[in-house]
Amino acid sequence: MSASEMAFENEFHHSRTQNSCVARAISYLIHMKLSTLVLILIFLLILIPLMMHYYVSQILVHQTQVAQKAHPLVTNVDLNSDSSAHLKGRIDEMNRIKNSVSNELLQLEAKRNKLHQSLETYSGRVDELKQQLSRLQLEYERLKYSVERARAAQLEAAERDTPLLARPRPLRAEPGPRPALEPPPAADRRRCTLPECWDYSLCPITGGFSFHLYRPLSDASDAAASRLLEALRSNVQWRSDPAAVCAYVLVVGGAPEPARLQRLLTAAEHWSGDGRNHVLVAASAPAAAALDSVDTGRAVLVRTPDAGAPPRPGFDLVLPSVDGPLQGVPWQTLPPLVPARRPVLVSFQGELAADQRWARTDELTSSLQSLSQSHTRDVVHAEFRCPEDAPAAAPSPVSAAAGGWRLCGSAQQRSERLGNATFALLLPPGGAVLQRLTEALRAGAVPVLLGEWPLPFDGVLDWRRAVLRVAEPRVRELHYMLRSLTDGDILSYRRNGRELWEHYLSSAKAVSDALLTQLAERLELPPPAAAAVPAQSVFNDTFQRVTVDVQLSTLDLDEYLGPIETPHASAAYQRNLTTPRLDSYARWNLFLAPHRLYPAVPYGDVLPAEAKFVGPRLGFRPVAAGEGGSGKEFSESLGGNSPHEQFTVVMLTYRREQVLLSALGHLYGLPYLNKVVVVWNTPEPPAETLQWPNVGVPVEVVRVGKNSLNNRFLPFDAIETDAVLSIDDDAHLRHDEIVFGFRVWREQRDRLVGFPGRFNAWDTRFGGWHYNSNYSCELSMVLTGAAFFHKYYAHMYSEWMPQVIRDKVDEYMNCEDIAMNFLISHLTRQPPVKVTSRWTFRCPGCPVTSRWTFRCPGCPVTLSEDEEHFIERHKCINFFSRVFGYMPLLNTQFRVDSVLFKTRLPQDKQKCFRFI
């Protein structure tokens, strides 16, 4: 047996032995009692921890001995031994090292603080240098663009072939009397026209229209003549010096004797033989008859069309009924425009004398009587004899001279009757046709004129928009024609008629102003320039304001919005001659303001797109010279459909100097800004210690007569641009929002363009209107705390709008923004335009996607947060709608964002605005 085999056999026997031992142990445990097994386990649990504790303690003792051998200082020593001196020296050495390290740490801390202070100083210096660099860059851009603009202006001036115009200057007196001329024969007098019978040499285009008023030829009891005379004297074109006027006006009233009238005319100081450039106003029918019986030469006659001979076309003027007050509109007595249909469909009440009845009149009346006998539910009041409770009125001078249908009852009775009628009939023959027209327009009954009849200011007023003319042969079809009109048609007729009555027929002043303006327009003369409010500075001539530089906001520096330009004014009075011609219809019938010449108007035709590139550039700055582009090219030019221009900021303030200065500082570096006009409503002048920010453009602080919110919309002569940004001193707008709003306004020049939106809500329980600032998908107003509008509307607000509205604004010290919304919507019949961005400064809790408010953080509580403020605004809306006769506000359901907003662009393109 080999060794390996023996080893294997031994190992085999050993494993068998172990296996047998294990088997025996398992068999023993199986047969062992449970109590014995528990005792063994308890013994093991006690023995094992004791053994572990012993061995661990031995390890700790060994480690302690090792540590004592390695560090003898920590061993137990005898303090009385010789080594105590050595230990004390070691301790002193350690204390010295500790003090040295502490001193070194203090020195390092001081050095660190010094370095930190130096770092802060240099960081501040870096910020200052960055601000200085930004200002220098802006100044460089301004100079660079100024040079480019100067070159463009030089090129345009070289290409310009038309003279610049300015406001008309007054006419200078010519020395010496005018030569006397023989009056024309009677036959030629009936064929007079302005080119043949008017001396144009007294009316140069550059001098405008003016007139001298003779002493009246009328009885003191003639009320109409007295009102006309006083109204003429209040006209701005009246001159007391007769040597430098274009026309001479004589008011003839009462019943003058023809012989006496002839002598007075011939002896008139400036009659010059033929009466050229004279205007004879017949304030009564007898006066008109007297003028027909005398030689009036080449004078223009102003009278009612049913008194005497018919008016000469293009020469004579039609005088309407002058039954109203001297001036003003009695709006309290006017009915509302709605509902469209009233209880009575059509109304007529009158009486014709027996000797004036003829066959056609009988046929006409019988046809009208059949209307009331129709089988419809329409109520027709057609009475051709005055009832007992409304007897025929005493014949007026007009009806006494010309006959016709006489009026029935008093003026109050006729007003109540017409107030219940949808339509009012005007029947020939004349008599009181013009008086019936005036009463119908005032009561809101649409006039229905049967046949042809000269109406007041027929050459300039479009009576088709207010009067329904029907040929007499169609009288049998009248009922069907009236029923075919929709509610919208009726309300359009009624609204247009009320506007014509208010502005041209309601008072003696309205009538006289319209007569003079129509005559001047026939002579191709521009009206007088609208008066601008002088901007008187709150500072005297010797006062020097303290100015400081401002720091630009990071938000306004991150995006290039346009070049910084030198201020330049918008072109003014460039359409002095074309306005009375080309815009005559709009001035008389749409904007209802023909009596003044304004620096610019928000309406007018837009030039064809080729005009920007073919011929003179006319001030246009197309994007990328016409090639277009994305954000980079867009920001370099203003583009659009109008010539290049700027805007003026008008900021109203009252006793909030620091808030004002902060708001002014925010305007620094704003592109296209021309000037800032601060309306100082505070009675006290500004403190001399105020530090005014230098915003890069002129800042004019204007003193006003009283603290009124209407001052926000005064047409100051300091405003030299068409675009006006009205903004509160506590409003906070980013530069990109302002520039975007300006660009939008340039495409909507006749509308109000702003940021915060509001709407007028109908009270479904009690009726009437409520001012509502809640979230809504419809808007009807934008607040003028941040809104663009045309300067033209400042004139209209301060001069044209009813005075009672401005008085209500002063009474409540509120609602001026609502009044401006009413005015513009009334004139344009369009809603305002709301512009917004997705990232704005907002009130707590407002969503970040809409600018419903923009009050600056930390500003004091404003009036708009007062509950009484909202109650007053509810009252204002209902009051203004009563004055206008209807609710002019219109709803809009969209807001305006830039073209590429939320558009995915390639890497090499930029959006028009980063956040808008």
Indicate the number of domains in the chain. 4
| 508-522 vs 223-233: helix crossing angle, rounded to 10 | 60
pLDDT at position 255, please? 82
pLDDT tier for residue 72 given thresholds of 50, 70 and 90? very low
Contact at 8 Å (CB) between 662 and 727?
no
Name which of 166-170, 347-351, 587-591, 772-776 the model is least confident about.
166-170
Catalytic site residues?
A: 817
Q: Mean pLDDT over residues 408-437, rounded?
A: 88
DSSP conformational letter for 577: T
Rounded to whole angstroms, how far apart are CA atoms 404 and 351? 8
The answer to whether position 67 is within a domain reads no
820/713 same-domain check: yes
300-303: strand order across its sheet: 211-213, 247-252, 278-282, 300-303, 317-318
pLDDT at position 214, please? 92
Name which of 269-273, 387-391, 664-668 the model is least confident about.
387-391
267/341 same-domain check: no
CATH code of the domain in which 583 resides: 3.90.550.10
Range of the domain at 230: 194-318
SS3 359: helix
Q: Name the residue with higher pLDDT: 451 or 419.
A: 419
The residues, ordered by sequence, that sit 6+ positions from 714 with a Cβ below 8 Å of its Cβ are 533, 679, 704, 794, 798
Q: Name the average pLDDT for the chain.
A: 83
Q: Mean pLDDT over residues 799-813, rounded?
A: 96
Give pTM, 2 decimals: 0.81
Over residues 11-66, the pLDDT tens digits come to: 545 555 555 655 565 666 566 667 777 788 888 788 887 787 777 767 655 655 65
340/264 same-domain check: no
pLDDT at position 153, please? 63
pLDDT at 73 over 60: no
Rounded to whole angstroms, how far apart are CA atoms 337 and 505? 18
pLDDT at position 893, please? 95
pLDDT at 179 over 80: no
Contact at 8 Å (CB) between 508 and 326?
yes
Q: Mean pLDDT over residues 866-887, rounded?
A: 93
297/341 same-domain check: no
pLDDT at 358 over 90: no
pLDDT tier for residue 553 given thresholds of 50, 70 and 90? low
Rounded to whole angstroms, how far apart are CA atoms 593 and 161? 31
pLDDT at 702 over 80: yes
User: How many CB atoms lie under 10 A from the CB of residue 912?
Assistant: 19
Contact at 8 Å (CB) between 753 and 676?
no
pLDDT at position 502, please? 95
341/387 same-domain check: yes
Q: Which amino acid is at 636?
A: E
706/853 same-domain check: yes
pLDDT at position 356, please? 64
Rounded to whole angstroms, how far apart are CA atoms 776 and 51? 86
Over residues 86-121, the pLDDT tens digits come to: 888 888 888 888 888 888 888 988 899 999 998 988
And the tokens for 424?
């009012």
What's the angle, vertex CA 261, arms to CA 257 and CA 262, rounded to 5?
Answer: 120
pLDDT at 749 over 50: yes
pLDDT at 4 over 50: yes
Over residues 364-373, the pLDDT tens digits come to: 777 777 776 6
pLDDT at position 164, please? 57
pLDDT at position 452, please? 84
Q: Name the residue with higher pLDDT: 866 or 590.
A: 590
The answer to whether position 21 is within a domain reads no
474/502 same-domain check: yes
pLDDT at position 1, please? 52
pLDDT at 285 over 60: yes
SS3 533: strand
pLDDT at 460 over 90: yes
The answer to whether position 4 is within a domain reads no
The answer to whether position 71 is within a domain reads no
The answer to whether position 522 is within a domain reads no
pLDDT tier for residue 85 given thresholds of 50, 70 and 90? confident
The answer to whether position 275 is within a domain reads yes
Q: Which amino acid is at 347?
A: S
689/753 same-domain check: yes
The answer to whether position 813 is within a domain reads yes
Long-range pairs of 660-663 with CB within 8 A, sequence gap ≥ 24: 660/729, 661/690, 661/691, 661/692, 661/693, 662/856, 663/727, 663/729, 663/730, 663/731, 663/732
Distances (CA, A) of 63 to 51, 70, 749: 19, 11, 97
User: How many CB atoms lie under 10 A from the CB of residue 398?
Assistant: 24
Share of the chain above pLDDT 90, in %: 42
pLDDT at 666 over 80: yes
pLDDT at 8 over 70: no
Element (H, E) at 107: helix 83-159
819/697 same-domain check: yes
pLDDT tier for residue 233 given thresholds of 50, 70 and 90? very high
pLDDT tier for residue 614 given thresholds of 50, 70 and 90? confident
pLDDT tier for residue 880 given thresholds of 50, 70 and 90? very high
pLDDT tier for residue 404 given thresholds of 50, 70 and 90? confident
Contact at 8 Å (CB) between 753 and 789?
yes
Taking the alpha carbons at both ends of the chain, their separation in whole angstroms is 104
- Of 454, 474, 506, the last residue of a domain is 506
Rounded to whole angstroms, how far apart are CA atoms 56 and 52? 6
Among candidate residues 40, 910, 159, 46, the one with its CA nearest the CA of residue 558: 910
CATH code of the domain in which 458 resides: 3.40.50.2000
The answer to whether position 792 is within a domain reads yes
Over residues 295-354, the pLDDT tens digits come to: 999 999 998 876 667 889 999 999 998 888 888 888 888 999 999 999 999 999 988 876
Over residues 486-527, the pLDDT tens digits come to: 999 999 999 999 999 999 999 999 999 999 999 999 999 999
Partners of residue 781 on adjacent β-strands = 758
pLDDT tier for residue 177 given thresholds of 50, 70 and 90? low
Name which of 336-350, 869-883, 896-910 the model is least confident about.
896-910
DSSP conformational letter for 312: P
Over residues 112-123, the pLDDT tens digits come to: 999 999 898 898
272/304 same-domain check: yes
Rounded to whole angstroms, how far apart are CA atoms 666 and 91? 68
Phi, psi for 268 (deg, rounded to 5): -60, 140
And the tokens for 621?
């700055």
252/375 same-domain check: no
pLDDT at position 175, please? 52
Rounded to whole angstroms, how far apart are CA atoms 545 and 539? 9
And the tokens for 413?
């009775």
pLDDT at 566 over 90: no
Long-range pairs of 135-138 with CB within 8 A, sequence gap ≥ 24: 135/549, 135/552, 138/564, 138/669, 138/696
Q: What is the 3-state secondary structure (H, E, C) of 176-213?
A: CCCCCCCCCCHHHHCCCCHHHHCCHHHCCHHHCCCEEE
- Of 448, 481, 506, the last residue of a domain is 506
Name which of 212-226, 263-277, 533-547 the model is least confident about.
212-226
Over residues 831-856, the pLDDT tens digits come to: 999 997 533 344 334 333 334 444 44
Q: Name the residue with higher pLDDT: 398 or 452.
A: 452
Q: Name the residue with higher pLDDT: 395 or 851.
A: 395
pLDDT at position 850, please? 37
Name which of 175-184, 689-698, 869-878 the model is least confident about.
175-184
pLDDT at position 221, please? 63
465/497 same-domain check: yes
Name which of 476-480, 603-607, 784-788, 882-886 the model is least confident about.
603-607
> The dihedral of CA 824, 826, 830, 836: what is its sign?
positive
pLDDT tier for residue 659 given thresholds of 50, 70 and 90? very high
pLDDT at position 599, please? 93
